[in-house]
Amino acid sequence: MLGAASYNSQISEIQILHDIIESNLDFKILNALFMQLRPVNIVVSSLQDGHFLKIIKQLAHNGKINMFSSPTTTDDYKSDEKVHILPKKCFKFKTCEQLILSMSLTSAPKNEKSRKLYIRSLVDFTQELTVCALGALLHFLDTPLVKLNLPTNFTIMSLKILNMDNLVWLGISTYESLQIFSAHEHPSIYKWTKNSTKEGPSIFSLLNRCNSIMGSKFLKNILAQPTKNLDIIKYRHEFIEFCINPSNESVILSLTNCIKHCRCVSSTIVKMNGGNASMYQWRLLYQTAINAITIGEICERYSEQITFFTKIKETLKDSLYTMVNAMSCIIDFEKSSIQNRFVVKLGFIPELDERKSKIENITELLNEITLKELQDLPSYINECSICKMPEVGFLLCLPFWKPYNLMTENDYKIQDLEFKFHLTDKVFYKTSRCYELDKYFGEIESSIIQEEIQTMTKLSEFIIQHWISDLHLILKLIAELDCLIGFAYVAKDLKLIKPNILPKEHCIINIINGRHILQEKYVDKFVPNSYHSSKVNQSIKIITGFNSSGKSIYLKQIALISYLCHIGCYVPAEYTEISILDHIHTRIQSTESVSSLMSAFMVDLKQMSVALNESTCKSLVILDEFGKGTSEINGLALLLASISDFVHRPLHLLPHVIISTHFHSLPNLLQQIINKDILNDNVQYLSMSYTTECSKIVCLYRVIDQIKNQNKSMAHSIAAQNGLPKCIVERANKVLLSIQQDECISPMTENLRYKLFYRRKHFIERVLELMQDKITDAAFKDLVNDMENIRYP
Ligand SMILES: Nc1ncnc2c1ncn2[C@@H]1O[C@H](COP(=O)(O)OP(=O)(O)OP(=O)(O)O)[C@@H](O)[C@H]1O
């Protein structure tokens, strides 16, 4: 059983996963959880068994699970910089329950009793593991080390239940082989938060036409959570259709303009909560709220036609208008940006206005005081003024009463005046009246600032407690809106079509002239291919073809089209009809790499065992060259046994399977081990078409429904076409013939390639001698004879 809780410091949200049964075969749920949450720190109990701790560490550090790793060591039980192993007491149910009931949830009522009731309505205390996980998480968040690393004050704005039921399962290797995210992000796919600017070709970079950062972030969530929920897919399709319609262009443009001004306000809220949000952040919040309202109002106009607009309209709450009104009535944004502090607008607090007017009407008072000061000054001074300087406050300013060069130190000394400094034509003093002015205005000014800080704090509290959750709700949908508008642009540019998604009862994938959305950008002319699979239509396909004939691209394109259908995107095909899938398993050869902890064969085995154990008639299983990593005979035997398992399954467990292979004997062997009728009902053989031009092979990249040249591998001709020395290819052909005819392979006595090389070298040396007239006629004849004999290797 697995229970989990997570805290997202960016949006101050707790997410909990209710107790769920996990398969320790592939840790599917744990994998999906890591994929979805991308945790920075992981907290586990010291009571956990070593194998699980090992798996957690692998996921935290490599993003991959190695089921075949070495036995558990004491190191697995030690905390590291990412995985924190807490003592079991932190996971004790009773302690955890207390911690949860006393957590500081901003949306909870202030009254202690109602607060507890409110929390109990959010957290199901019968979910034992979830409660322990959440309690331990709260305990961890309360430790000084963590507090230091959190942006500012630790707050919990909301609590959400994670729902994994609607997820279509894709393993990490599937994400990699289908290039859903950029290769640059591999292997630490979870480090998305560290905004990597590098972005290789990937489905993410292709679909990311977002106009806001929150849109791009949401796109990553959409891509990491392909869904089985038909309603979600349908409303996304409906919205894309609306966007593509040219008559709606202006609506989409207005929406896009508003989206550009919307920002994720989570960090602003965290700062506001700590009382240190900058004026830039206040303005950002205001602008975001105004634009969110405008978006909501635009959506309201079309809400009867489009479901997604209805969803957005429903989140346009009165509280948003109240918040914007309050902000515009209270904050003087212009003066705030000049003074770089929160300035309250005139008219909001009468006493504050009065104090401000006292400061603004200072001239009258200063004139009065200037006259009094003049009366007290010696008779030789007949002019003066009062000014205010930063730091020093009010000063009496006297213009020089003598030419500058005649002014002496003694002249500056005047009874009852405190000399401060002089400039080239003026001298400044502090007088008792100046001190009084300092005190009077200083008090007024500080009381104004204090009052404005208080107003700011009250406004912040109000925003956080009453309005922000509604703003969060609408912004989440705006982020999705941003992604979906991007999907529509991509659909228009890449000529994608709306797939027909069938409900769960069906088991069908029907793709007519599908394309590989990434690969088609890199070839001059991409050849589209179709795929049909259903319970009645041979759902196991075995595809053969020589190297580089397009098998892997075909396999990937089927997986990708199926995947795109489940994120609610349009697809690259002429027509697509697909029933909701539960799993997309792929084993595509490109993914074994240095970062993988397993050998190619181990990956093969793991993938096949997951496919055999987990697949249902709603799964798509793609196996590219299974068994390549071991001896041919072993690989072939395992593949035969696995196909035979699929073929003999009841229909509700028979998945859509596509296997590409170089084992040309596979069809014959299958006929020997499986009943002919069962085989014909379930298995279809496909191959990649080709033609020959001037004895060279030309790939046509077209998938055909027949076994063509199945008994003959074209590997040797392809090798020659790709620059392998001709003598080596010839030798390989001889060896192959001997094996096929069960003859002895003639030993090779010399290295033909080097023999030819030295003969050519010698030949060239003699040609050079000839050019220097160093060669006789007889030697020249010899040379010509030799030329006939030298063949190019
Ligand atoms: N449908 C297509 N249209 C045009 N070009 C294609 C198509 N499919 C594949 N190609 C081209 O052929 C190349 C090789 O394709 P792919 O890797 O799928 O071959 P393969 O049969 O899987 O090879 P191998 O058996 O050696 O792994 C691709 O990189 C691409 O350039």
Residue nearest to atom 11 of ligand 1 (CA): 550
Measure Cα distances from 403 to 395, 399, 424 in Å.
22, 10, 10
Q: What is the pLDDT averaged over residues 452-465? A: 89
**Residue 404 CB burial class (10 angstroms; 0-12, 13-18, ≥19):** exposed
CATH T-level fold of 246-493:
MutS, DNA mismatch repair protein; Chain A, domain 3 (1.10.1420)
CA–CA dist 29, 33 (Å, integer): 6
User: Which tens digit of pLDDT belongs to each residue from 216-240?
Assistant: 988 988 998 899 999 999 999 999 9
Atom 20 of ligand 1, nearest CA residue? 548
**Distance (Å, whole) CA 294 – CA 309:** 13
Distance 344 CA to ligand 1 centre (A): 66
pTM of the model: 0.76
pLDDT, tens digit (0-9, with 9 covering 90-100), for 526-541: 999 999 998 777 889 9
Mutate to test the pocket of ligand 1, among 523, 529, 554, 556 (most ligand atoms within 8 A of CB): 523
User: Ligand 1, from 549, 591, 658: best to mutate by most atoms within 8 Å of Cβ?
Assistant: 549
Domain residue extents for the chain:
2-71+78-164, 246-493, 500-711, 754-789
Q: Which residues fall within 8 angstroms of residue 331, CB to CB, at 6 or more apart?
A: 282, 286, 342, 343, 344, 345, 459
Per-range mean pLDDT, top range of 465-479, 593-607, 762-776: 465-479
* Residue owning the nearest CA to atom 31 of ligand 1: 523
Side-chain-side CA neighbours of 27 within 13 Å: the count stands at 20
Cα 556 to averaged position of ligand 1 atoms, centre (Å): 11
Is the predicted pLDDT of residue 630 greater than 80, yes or no?
no
- 297-303 average pLDDT score: 93
Q: Could you tell me if 518 and 203 are in contact, meaning their C-beta atoms sit under 8 angstroms apart?
A: yes
**Nearest CA among 117, 27, 36 for reference residue 64:** 27
Q: Answer yes or no: is the C-beta of 356 below 6 A from any ligand 1 atom.
A: no
Per residue in 462-515, pLDDT (tens digit) is 888 888 888 988 998 999 999 999 999 999 999 999 999 998 778 899 999 999
> Which of the four pLDDT bands, split at 50, 70 and 90, describes residue 388?
confident
For residue 336, the CA-to-ligand 1 centroid distance in Å is 61
Tell me the CA–centroid distance for residue 572 and ligand 1, in Å: 17
Inform me whether the pLDDT recorded for 429 exceeds 90. Answer: yes
Distance CA 32, CA 225 (A): 9
Q: How far is the CA of 686 from the centre of ligand 1 (A)?
A: 15
Write the secondary structure of 516-534 as one string of H (helix), E (strand) and C (coil).
CCCHHHCCCCCCCEEEEEE
Q: What is the largest CA-CA distance in the chain?
A: 132
Task: Return the sign of the alpha-carbon dihedral for residues 94, 100, 101, 104.
Answer: positive
ipTM at complex level: 0.98
At 255 the pLDDT is 96
Class (C level, CATH) for 2-71+78-164: alpha beta
Measuring CA to CA, which residue among 491, 552, 483, 486 is closest to residue 519?
552
pLDDT of residue 787 exceeding 50, the answer is yes
Phi and psi based region of residue 792 (left: phi greater than 0; alpha: psi -120 to 50; beta: remaining): beta
| Residue scoring higher pLDDT (293 or 713) | 293
Does ligand 1 come within 6 angstroms of the Cβ of 549? yes
Q: What is the Å distance from ligand 1's center to 699 Cα?
A: 9
| Nearest CA, atom 23, ligand 1 | 548
| CATH superfamily name and code, 500-711 | P-loop containing nucleotide triphosphate hydrolases (3.40.50.300)
How far, in Å, from the CA of 553 to the mean position of ligand 1? 6
Q: Is the pLDDT of residue 359 over 70?
A: yes
Q: Is 550 in the pocket of ligand 1 (CB under 6 A)?
A: yes
Give the residue whose CA is nearest to atom 15 of ligand 1. 550
**Ligand 1 centroid – CA 784 distance (Å):** 45
